[in-house]
């Protein structure tokens, strides 16, 4: 498995020299400065590659794009989309021409990921990302005042949310809004309450069936080009894996993934296996999902969450939480072996330690939420140990 690290380029407070010290050599990045829907020029791609490889002694390589974003008009199925599809295909072609052939993307409407707390306390003084069902209900019902939001929450959660909103200070509410807005993609534009209401209005009437139809059209437009280019497209599951803000989510469980991969029956139409996103759904058996779709997994995000009965969850340490990480990694190692035996040159699955806790010197550094240095390095070291142990055991069994 190829150890990789998400890096935000010039927007990142973590330097490439620090990433090397974690042991990772693959860089997962994107041209975050380019507006959605615009072509990624070859010159800009090569400039980012040159930045990553400027010091050959570091041994770093851009191996995964995360993400090549899908324009919101495509998700809404709105207007003349031919130019947007053409631009997306051209960006794919330019990346392939530069040797970058694994592209992670998502089809979540409006928000990429959503958390209500960016600095929930953990044992010993660190912090973690958290999704509180209570706080989300307070936001939707009392701050956003979304019609029909009450139907998405239990009576107990609604009662607690009403109490929180009544006793919260203006600073508490501002903090909640800022935490939720941290999941907005792109150039980090953020909405106030009125702006979010207006943005949600653009999705009015978009149900699950309509979003699926728009996604199927996207796949039909881009996957044949990916096959021609030798590019592996890999969709990221919904985070969290549930409808949100009245918007449907359609990549949340095994049935959803089967539908996505069934739209284009080719290896280029693949999956980013995110153990944290899928793991937040109590119905999901993440190792079983990985085994079912293993041949179509092109990239993995390895992290863990601890779920609560009311639907809340918190980012756990990588080997803690509810997902059996050793069982999941064993599935990925078995798939790598299968690919090697089939003679595939691209048998190695790139992975990155996802969403670490803020620990030690991470605190106060101001890195992207969920992407500190020390916390992710701890996660990578733990995952590396699991991989080494399982690999050793498998080698001994083969030799026995």
Q: Which of 236, 298, 318, 357 does the annotation list as catalytic?
A: 236
Pairing of strands 102-105, 232-235: parallel
Question: Nearest CA to 112 among 52, 165, 70, 65?
Answer: 70
Per-residue pLDDT band for 286 (boundaries 50, 70, 90) equals very high
Distance from chain centroid for Cα 245: 19
Q: Domain check: are 195 and 212 in the same one?
A: no
Q: Domain check: are 277 and 305 in the same one?
A: yes
Can you read off the two tokens belonging to residue 27?
């860089």
Q: Domain check: are 275 and 330 in the same one?
A: yes
Q: Domain check: are 66 and 160 in the same one?
A: no
Q: Domain check: are 291 and 187 in the same one?
A: no
Q: Is 135 a catalytic residue?
A: no
Q: Domain check: are 305 and 163 in the same one?
A: no
Of 201, 221, 251, the residue that ends a domain is: 201
Q: Is 354 a catalytic residue?
A: yes
Q: Which of 165, 298, 355, 357 does the annotation list as catalytic?
A: 355
How many structural domains compose the chain? 2
Per-residue pLDDT band for 183 (boundaries 50, 70, 90) equals confident
Q: State the CATH number of the domain containing residue 261.
A: 3.20.20.150
Q: Domain check: are 244 and 278 in the same one?
A: yes
> What pLDDT is recorded for position 399?
83
Match 């949310």 to its residue by tokens.
161
Question: Nearest CA to 26 among 55, 1, 46, 54?
Answer: 1
Q: Is 165 a catalytic residue?
A: no
Secondary structure of the chain: what % helix, strand, coil (to 5)? Answer: 45, 15, 40
Q: Which of 71, 274, 318, 362 does the annotation list as catalytic?
A: 274
Q: Domain check: are 128 and 97 in the same one?
A: no
Q: Domain check: are 236 and 176 in the same one?
A: no
Q: Is 301 a catalytic residue?
A: yes
Of 181, 201, 221, the residue that ends a domain is: 201
Q: Domain check: are 245 and 339 in the same one?
A: yes
Would you say residue 189 has pLDDT above 70?
no
Q: Which of 88, 105, 153, 371 does the annotation list as catalytic?
A: 371
Q: Which of 298, 301, 318, 357 does the annotation list as catalytic?
A: 301
Q: Which residues form the domain of 123?
A: 117-201
The pLDDT of 279-288, averaged and rounded, is 97
Q: Are 345 and 368 in contact (CB under 8 A)?
A: no
Q: Domain check: are 102 and 251 in the same one?
A: yes
Can you read off the two tokens belonging to residue 393?
């055991």
The pLDDT tens digits of the residues spanning 301-326 come to 999 999 999 999 999 999 999 999 99
Question: Residue 273's beta-bridge partner residues?
Answer: 300
Of 201, 229, 254, the residue that ends a domain is: 201
The pLDDT of 63-78, averaged and rounded, is 96
Can you read off the two tokens belonging to residue 100?
């970058």
Q: Is 274 a catalytic residue?
A: yes
Per-residue pLDDT band for 187 (boundaries 50, 70, 90) equals very low
Q: Is 142 a catalytic residue?
A: no
Per-residue pLDDT band for 185 (boundaries 50, 70, 90) equals low
Q: Domain check: are 388 and 279 in the same one?
A: yes
Q: What are phi and psi of 57, to 5 degrees?
A: -65, -20
């Amino acid at each position: 498995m190829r150890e990789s690290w998400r890096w935000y380029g010039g927007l990142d407070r973590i330097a490439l020299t620090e990433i090397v010290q974690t042991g990772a050599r693959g860089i997962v990045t994107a041209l975050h400065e380019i507006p959605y829907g615009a072509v990624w020029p070859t010159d800009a791609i090569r400039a980012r590659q040159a930045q990553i490889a400027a010091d050959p002694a570091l041994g770093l390589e851009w191996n995964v794009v995360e993400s090549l974003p899908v324009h919101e008009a495509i998700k809404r199925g709105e207007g003349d989309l031919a130019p947007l599809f053409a631009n997306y295909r051209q960006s794919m072609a330019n990346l392939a021409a530069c040797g970058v052939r694994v592209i992670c993307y998502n089809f979540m409407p409006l928000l990429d990921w959503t958390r209500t707390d960016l600095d929930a306390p953990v044992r010993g003084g660190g912090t973690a990302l958290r999704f509180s069902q209570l706080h989300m209900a307070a936001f939707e019902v009392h701050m956003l005042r979304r019609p029909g939001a009450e139907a998405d929450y239990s009576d107990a959660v609604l009662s607690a949310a009403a109490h929180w909103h009544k006793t919260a200070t203006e600073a508490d509410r501002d903090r909640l809004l800022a935490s939720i807005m941290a999941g907005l993609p792109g150039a980090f534009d953020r909405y106030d309450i009125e702006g979010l209401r207006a943005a949600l209005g653009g999705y009015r009437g978009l149900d699950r069936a309509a979003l699926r139809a728009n996604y199927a059209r996207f796949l039909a437009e881009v996957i044949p080009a990916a096959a021609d280019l030798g590019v592996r497209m890999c969709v990221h599951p919904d985070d969290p894996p549930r409808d949100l803000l009245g918007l449907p989510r359609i990549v949340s469980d095994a049935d959803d993934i089967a539908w996505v991969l069934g739209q284009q029956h080719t290896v280029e139409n693949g999956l980013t296996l995110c153990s944290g996103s899928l793991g937040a759904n109590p119905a999901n058996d993440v190792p079983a999902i990985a085994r079912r779709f293993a041949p179509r997994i092109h990239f993995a995000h390895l992290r863990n969450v601890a779920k609560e009965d009311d639907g809340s969850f918190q980012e756990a340490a990588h080997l803690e939480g509810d997902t059996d990480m050793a069982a999941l990694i064993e599935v990925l190692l078995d798939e790598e072996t299968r690919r090697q035996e089939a003679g595939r040159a691209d048998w190695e699955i790139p992975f990155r330690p996802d969403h670490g806790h803020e620990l030690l010197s991470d605190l106060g550094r101001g890195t992207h939420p969920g992407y500190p240095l020390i916390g992710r390095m701890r996660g990578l070291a733990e995952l590396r140990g699991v991989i080494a142990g399982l690999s050793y055991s498998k080698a001994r069994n083969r030799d026995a």
